[in-house]
């Protein structure tokens, strides 16, 4: 983030009192249509229309198809760039440690804790109850996983799509597309959903879609919005999240422009968790490979150093707390420093493997002073910072360090010394979402269901606030995607 603006630009009232985006007026109460789209050049009727072709969409579409519905998937990009954030995802699914009642409860509690009690407990419960059976369903569809990894600081763990983190998703998306089209499902590419169509009962009965031929009306008994987040919508970011948020490096897909949120809002849906930095996931990434080069596994073990050569965060709190803290550091460039002992940690090895796969260098030096030169910080200050940190380390904690480190603290004392550098803040995803119930039905602010309208994936929930467990979004796409597909299929006449 390089530019800075007057804070009065973060005038959220603008966005909430009717400034139009893409021809849609945004208001707190009744939705307004600032620009009505014309009747379509032609019209098609399906049982279920799914907007998007990422994880949530493909899961919902395949489930609806398996339930016997006539399903069409509408994707705004060409086939080879479809899949939004899912295509660039690590492919990690967060699941309860075991398929037992106790473990499922611990999963709900872990999610509740990490979201400061402001996450969606009802959805966490549904996800906990379905996670393992839905992973089994995915395997039946031809999906391959690498082995279960227990979480270090929680009771759950992760399943990662084969062949490896950050590498499994494109192949997996292709598998899901093939399963869906193999059953007779249709995917229309370069078809951008623009506006929901409602009948005079207030039911959503279709979508107006911009195609290469012009506007086509895709009519349906149910519409599933699975259009992803809005980390690439600079206007929404700067108005809702932070005045400078539009200038942050975007890790996610360029397609994540909040189209689903805006369409749903226009139809009267409630949006929640849209304001402030706690509603986005900001992590530190290597700007040369912002999607993949996020040494998240190593982070908690390292010391994070700013441009002044000082620590600034409790690294054990994880990637989002570090990412947000890095936003406030001089020049917004940081380094993660570790030594030979920490290099041997399994988590560090996982991050090193990611860097190796991406062909990115990890800096190494025989002395702290030499490393200081490489990460462009004052050598004396870095030495003083590391010495002070080392002398505070006791029983895996460094509670007297400045700032304290509550866990995974180990002395940085054994050469060689290493650093992941440079790392800068980047937005991975947004948490603000269309409000849904446990059947994935879209709700109005007063809690009424909007008949015929479902939302799933990153655009729906909202699930998280402030923080999340790595893998928490893909598991939501899977579980809620299946539920949405099933429910939408039931709506056919």
Interface with ligand FAD by CB under 6 A: which residues? 51-57, 74-77, 82-86, 88-92, 192-193, 226-228, 251-253, 255-256, 259, 291, 428-429, 457-459, 471-474, 477
For ligand FAD, the closer CB: 76 or 311: 76
**Cα–Cα distance, 324 to 248 (Å, whole number):** 11
Report phi then psi at 310, rounded to 5: -115, 155
Q: Please report how close the Cβ of residue 165 comes to ligand FAD at its closest, in angstroms.
A: 7
Contact of 191 with 76, CB cutoff 8 Å: yes
Q: 3-state class of 155 per DSSP?
A: coil
Phi, psi at 172, each rounded to 5°:
-65, -40
What is the phi/psi pair of residue 390, to 5°?
-60, -40
CA separation for the pair 31, 19 (Å, rounded)? 12
- Choice between 127 and 477, CB closer to ligand FAD: 477
| Beta pairing class for 449-455 and 441-443 | antiparallel
Least distance in Å: CB of 177 to ligand FAD?
Answer: 11
Nearer to ligand FAD, 80 or 446 (CB): 80
Report which DSSP code applies to 240.
I
The strand pairing partners of 95, in sequence order, are: 157
Question: 101-114 and 121-140 are packed helices; what angle lies between their axes, rounded to 10 degrees?
Answer: 120
Rounded to 5 degrees, φ, ψ at 243 are: -60, -25
In terms of CB distance, is 316 or 474 closer to ligand FAD?
Answer: 474
Nearer to ligand FAD, 51 or 106 (CB): 51
If you write DSSP's letter for every residue of 74-135 in order, what string do you get? E-SS-GGG-SHHHHHS--EEEE-SSSSHHHHHHHHHHHHHHTTT-S-HHHHHHHHHHHHHHH
- Whose Cβ is closer to ligand FAD: residue 298's or residue 368's? 298
With respect to ligand FAD, which residue has the nearer C-beta, 228 or 452?
228
Shortest distance in whole angstroms from residue 195 CB to ligand FAD: 10
Q: Which residues neighbour 200 within 8 Å (Cβ) at sequence distance 6 or greater?
A: none
Given the complex with ligand FAD, which of 95 and 410 has the nearer CB atom?
95
User: Smallest gap, in angstroms, from Cβ of residue 99 to ligand FAD?
Assistant: 19
Residue 486 CB, nearest distance to ligand FAD (Å)?
17
Helices vs strands, H then E, count in the chain: 15, 22
Closer residue to ligand FAD (CB): 226 or 264: 226
* Nearest-approach distance from CB 45 to ligand FAD, in angstroms: 19
Task: Give me the least distance between CB of 483 and ligand FAD, in Å please.
Answer: 14
Q: Tell the smallest beta-carbon distance from residue 493 to ligand FAD (Å).
A: 25
Give which of 309, 315, 328, 320 is closest to 368, Cα–Cα: 309
Rank residues 10 and 49 by Cβ distance to ligand FAD and give the closer one: 49
Strands 71-74 and 42-51: parallel
Q: Which of 270, 268, 260, 253 is nearest to 207 (CA)?
A: 260
CB of 402 to ligand FAD, least distance (A): 32
Q: How far is the CB of 231 from ligand FAD (least distance, A)?
A: 7
- Is 162 or 406 the residue whose CB approaches ligand FAD more closely? 162
Closer CB to ligand FAD, residue 24 or residue 333?
24
Q: Structure tokens of 362?
A: 């990890």
**What is the distance between the alpha carbons of residues 58 and 482, in angstroms, rounded to a whole number?**
9
Least distance between ligand FAD and beta carbon 250 (Å):
8
**β pairing state of 24-25 and 32-33:** antiparallel
Q: 177: Cβ–Cβ under 8 A, 6 or more apart, which residues?
A: 53, 58, 187
For residues 380 and 389, is the Cβ–Cβ distance under 8 A? no
Phi and psi, residue 352, nearest 5°: -65, -35
Least separation in angstroms between CB 161 and ligand FAD: 9
């Amino acid at each position: 983030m390089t530019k800075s603006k007057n804070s009065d630009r973060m005038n959220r009232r603008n966005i909430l009192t009717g400034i139009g985006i893409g021809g849609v007026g945004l208001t707190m109460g009744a939705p307004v249509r600032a620009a009505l789209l014309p009747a379509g050049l032609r019209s098609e009727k399906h049982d279920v229309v799914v907007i998007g072709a990422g994880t949530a969409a493909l899961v919902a579409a395949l489930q609806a198809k398996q339930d016997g519905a006539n399903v069409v998937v509408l994707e705004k990009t060409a086939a080879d760039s479809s899949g939004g954030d899912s295509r660039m995802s690590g492919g990690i699914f967060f699941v309860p440690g075991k398929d037992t009642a106790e473990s499922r409860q611990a999963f709900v509690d872990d999610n509740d804790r990490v979201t400061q009690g402001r996450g969606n407990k009802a959805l966490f419960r549904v996800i906990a109850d379905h996670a393992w059976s839905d992973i089994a369903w995915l395997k039946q569809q031809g999906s391959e996983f690498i082995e279960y990894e227990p979480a270090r600081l929680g009771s759950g763990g992760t399943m990662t799509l084969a062949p490896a983190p950050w590498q499994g998703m494109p192949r997996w998306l292709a598998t899901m597309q093939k399963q869906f089209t193999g059953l007779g499902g249709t995917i229309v590419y370069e078809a951008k959903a623009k506006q929901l169509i409602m009948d005079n009962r207030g039911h959503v009965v279709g979508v107006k879609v911009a195609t290469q031929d012009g506007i086509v009306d895709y009519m349906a008994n149910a519409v599933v919005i699975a259009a992803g987040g809005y980390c690439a919508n600079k206007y929404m970011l700067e108005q809702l999240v932070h005045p400078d948020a539009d200038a942050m490096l975007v890790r996610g897909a360029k397609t994540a422009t909040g189209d689903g949120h805006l369409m749903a809002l226009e139809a009267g849906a409630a949006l929640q968790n849209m304001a402030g930095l706690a509603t986005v996931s900001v992590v530190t990434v290597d700007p040369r490979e912002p999607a993949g080069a996020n040494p998240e596994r190593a982070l908690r073990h390292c010391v994070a150093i700013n441009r002044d050569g000082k620590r600034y965060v409790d690294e054990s709190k994880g990637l989002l707390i570090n990412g947000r803290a890095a936003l406030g550091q001089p020049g917004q460039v940081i380094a993660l420093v570790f030594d030979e002992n920490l290099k041997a940690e399994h988590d560090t090895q996982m991050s090193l493997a990611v860097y190796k796969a991406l062909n990115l260098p990890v800096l190494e030096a025989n002395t702290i002073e030499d490393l200081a030169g490489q990460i462009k910080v004052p050598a004396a200050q870095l030495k003083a910072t590391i010495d002070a940190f080392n002398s505070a380390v006791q029983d895996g904690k460094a509670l007297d360090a400045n700032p304290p480190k509550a866990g995974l603290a180990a002395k940085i004392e054994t050469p060689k010394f290493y650093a992941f550098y440079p790392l800068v803040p980047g937005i991975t995803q947004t948490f603000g979402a269309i409000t849904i119930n446990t059947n994935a039905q879209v709700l109005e602010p007063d809690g009424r269901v909007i008949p015929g309208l479902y939302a799933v994936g990153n655009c729906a929930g909202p699930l998280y606030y402030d923080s999340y467990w790595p893998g928490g979004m893909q598991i939501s796409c899977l579980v809620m995607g299946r539920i949405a597909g099933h429910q939408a299929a039931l709506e056919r006449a």
